[in-house]
Amino acid sequence: NAGVTQTPKFRILKIGQSMTLQCTQDMNHNYMYWYRQDPGMGLKLIYYSVGAGITDKGEVPNGYNVSRSTTEDFPLRLELAAPSQTSVYFCASSYSEAFFGQGTRLTVV
């Protein structure tokens, strides 16, 4: 059982570049989340989705976009990457308890 899979695990971006962080889950969960975690800090919610076709902003959505065309996939898009987006990104899915991916460590230089 794969659970929640995130790709890539690591990425270095140049300022102004764009990229998509992939997240897929195989548990048929309706709820999916994207968080970012800066060094030594807690998790901050970027976007969440309560089902296919439905997304909403969390605490820190600026600079990011999401889509949810299927139950399984919830990609996070970074447009015009900035150094402030250097962070570790976690995707999660849940119904009752949440399951997290292993994270994507992103550095913007």
Partner 1 sequence: DAKTTQPNSMESNEEEPVHLPCNHSTISGTDYIHWYRQLPSQGPEYVIHGLTSNVNNRMASLAIAEDRKSSTLILHRATLRDAAVYYCILRGSAGSYQLTFGKGTKLSVIP
- List residues near partner 1 by CB under 8 A: 31, 33, 35, 42-45, 48, 50, 59, 90, 92, 94-103
- Give the number of C-alpha atoms closer than 13 A to the C-alpha of residue 42, restricted to the C-beta side: 4
E-assigned strand segments in the chain: 4-7, 10-13, 19-25, 31-37, 43-51, 54-57, 64-66, 76-78, 87-94, 98-100, 104-108
Q: Pick between residue 58 and residue 82 the one whose CB is nearest to partner 1.
A: 58
Q: Pick between residue 15 and residue 96 the one whose CB is nearest to partner 1.
A: 96
At its nearest, how many Å lie between partner 1 and the CB of residue 7? Answer: 14
At its nearest, how many Å lie between partner 1 and the CB of residue 16? Answer: 29
Q: Pick between residue 3 and residue 16 the one whose CB is nearest to partner 1.
A: 3
Q: Residue 82: CB partners within 8 Å, gap ≥ 6?
A: 15, 63, 108
Q: Pick between residue 20 and residue 94 the one whose CB is nearest to partner 1.
A: 94
At its nearest, how many Å lie between partner 1 and the CB of residue 20? Answer: 19
Nearest by Cα to 60 from 71, 40, 76: 76
